[in-house]
Structure 1
Amino acid sequence: MRKPRDYDAELQALEDKARELKARKVQQLGELVIATGADSLSAEELAGALVVLAETTDTAKREAWAKRGAAFFRGRSRRSSPTPDRDTGGAQTQQGGTQPPSGATGAA
């Protein structure tokens, strides 16, 4: 005869794992905000920019942002000494790139 399964224990283990994954995701998003220099923005500015990004359906813009993000991660080779220079350049370029879509969306 088979041993009965403890469904409650299995469910609890799955809930714990989901909670752990969610916490890790939140931590990684916070680290991403800091790494990109976006932590210098107010919470309202950052939230507004993210709302605009999430609402954007223009695939060309999304592809351009994805390429830029990939380049950002390739450029951050495990926090080497040139990284701060790249961070500053990326933040300046990112702000310039973020403002026109916001302006375009606000005008539409």
Structure 2
Amino acid sequence: MKMRKPRNFDAELKTLEDKARELKTRKVQQLGELVIATGADAFTVEELAGALIVLAETKEAGKREAWAKRGTAFFQRRSRRSAKETNRDAGGASAQPGGTQPASGGADAA
């Protein structure tokens, strides 16, 4: 009968902690990129924090829905602009094999 090798819980825990730290770092970076992309970096830290607090406290479904629609439109515009720039940098659609369009990255900040 074989004995199983004991699990190294400390190593597994460290791996999970490293992964959680990496995910948090990526989230912070993406939120910073979003603030810059929307032009919200022009606000003071206090103004931005106040606006975000109001957003977080808002429970009105209609307002949240309207904000979500504006956000969706923002990312669609960015996606289209990004695709046009990629297409222009590649020399147009005819430069792509078979005339296919490059895949768009979608919403890279959220």
TM-score for both structures, normalised by structure 2: 0.70
Distance 2:17 2:35 in 1: 27
Q: Aligned residue for 1:39?
A: 41
Partner of 1:77, secondary structure, is: helix
Distance 2:84 2:52 in 1: 28
Distance 2:43 2:83 in 1: 25
Report runs of 4+ in structure 1 exceeding 6 Å deviation: none
Indicate the structure (1 or 2) with the bigger Cα radius of gyration: 2
Structure (1 or 2) with the greater helix fraction: 1
**Which deviations, in whole Å up to 9, do the C-alpha atoms of 1:25-77 show, x marking residues without a partner?**
00000000000000000001100000000000000100110111011000002
Q: Aligned residue for 2:64?
A: 62
Structure 2 regions of 5+ residues with no counterpart?
86-110
CA RMSD, Structure 1 to Structure 2 (Å): 1.9
Per-residue deviation at 1:78? Answer: 6.5
Distance 2:68 2:55 in 1: 12
One-letter code aligned to 2:11: A
Q: Aligned residue for 2:73?
A: 71
Q: Aligned residue for 1:6?
A: 8
Q: Aligned residue for 1:27?
A: 29
Partner of 1:63, secondary structure, is: helix
One-letter code aligned to 1:68: R
* Percent of aligned pairs with the same amino acid: 76
